[in-house]
Amino acid sequence: MDNSCLIKIDNVSKVFKRKGMFRNEPEVKALDNVSLTVKKGEVLGIIGESGSGKTTLGKLILGLLKPGSGNISFADIDNSSSQNGKPIVQVIFQDPYDSLSHMMTVEQLVAEPCIIQNRKNFDRNRIVLALESVGLTPVESFLHKYPHTLSGGQRQRVAIARAMITEPDMIIADEPISMLDASIGVDILNLMLDMKERTGITFMFITHDIAAAAYISDNIAVMKEGKIVEYGSREQIISDCCHEYTKSLLLSASTGTFNNTSFDDK
C-alpha cells in the first residue's frame, strides 16, 4: 500500500439474501466488485441515488459487515490512541436525534466513547476541548443540556464531538446534513472542512447530493447499482465527467446553497 493511502478496497462485493416473507425475491447485490482508495487527509465524496450501495460500503469499512468477496486493507498509522496500529474510523449518522440517547446530557454523550473504551488519558478537559472544537461555546452552557433541547445543527455538532474525542484517523459521515436546513447544513460542511485543515483527519462523505459533495470533497466516487461508475477529483467530476449518470446528477443539482460550486461548465 503506498504512503498516501489510508484504506484500500479491492474488488469488494456484498450480496444480501432476502429473509422472512421476502425470501423468494431475488438477492440484492449491494456492492458489485468495488475498488477504491481512501487517501490520507482527503475528503472523499461518495455520491449516488438511494440504494446504490453507499451505506453498505461505509459499514464494510467500519467492520459492521463483512465483504462477500474481495478485500479491505488498512494502512499502518502512527496514532497512540489506536490499539492495533490501524486507523480509528468513526461514523456520524444522518439523524443526530436518533443517534444520540435522549437520556444523556451533552457531557455524558461526549464522554461515553472514551468510557466505553476505558481510556486512561481521559478527563473533563477533553470534553471541553471537543465541544469547543465543534463550536458549541460557551461550553458550560451546553454541558448539562439534553439532545431534545438542542437544534438539529447543534445535535450534529455533538455527534461530531463524540466522534472526535476518540482521536479518529477517519470519520464516515453518512448523509450528515440531509435532515438539516440548507444553511445549517453548509455550517456543518464548513466545520468538517475546518477540522480537516486543523487536524488532517480523513472524511468519507456519503451523500445523494452532488452539489454538497462538490462543495466539500477533494475526490468523488459516483455509485450506481452497487458499482463505482466514475471516480475523479472534484474538478474532473464537475467539469469533465464522462458517465451519463454523473451528467444527469449534475444537471439536476441545485447550485444555490453551495456558493463556491459552479456547474456552469456542464
**152-164 and 182-199 helices, crossing angle to 10°:** 20
Please answer whether residues 253 and 265 qualify as being in contact, where contact means their C-beta atoms are separated by less than 8 angstroms: no
Listing DSSP states for 176-190 in one string gives TTTTS-HHHHHHHHH
| Closer of 30 and 171 to ligand ATP (Cβ) | 30
Q: Which of 9, 34, 55, 220 binds ligand ATP (CB under 6 A)?
A: 55
CA distance 84 to 58: 20
| Closer of 165 and 213 to ligand ATP (Cβ) | 213
Q: What is the DSSP letter of 22?
A: G
**Residue 62 makes contact with ligand ATP by CB under 6 A:** no
- b/e per residue, 217-242, with b = 16+ CB within 10 A? bbbbbbbbebbbbbbbebeebbeebe
The residue range among 34-42, 52-60, 84-92, 125-133 that interacts with ligand ATP, by the rule CB under 6 A, is 52-60
Q: How far is the CB of 209 from ligand ATP (least distance, A)?
A: 11
Q: Which of 45, 48, 176, 185 binds ligand ATP (CB under 6 A)?
A: 48
Binding string, 177-216, against ligand ATP, x = CB under 6 A? -------------------------------x--------
The residue range among 51-59, 132-140, 234-242, 250-258 that interacts with ligand ATP, by the rule CB under 6 A, is 51-59
Task: With H, G, I as helix, E, B as strand and everything else as coil, classify residue 138.
Answer: coil
DSSP 3-state percent helix, strand, coil across the chain (nearest 5): 35, 25, 40
The residue range among 37-45, 50-58, 82-90, 187-195 that interacts with ligand ATP, by the rule CB under 6 A, is 50-58
CA distance 200 to 178: 25
Within positions 5 to 34, which residues make up the interface with ligand ATP, using CB under 6 A?
A: 16, 28, 30
Beta bridge partners of 34: 12
The residue range among 54-62, 132-140, 181-189, 254-262 that interacts with ligand ATP, by the rule CB under 6 A, is 54-62
Which residues lie near ligand ATP (CB under 6 A)? 16, 28, 30, 48, 50-56, 208
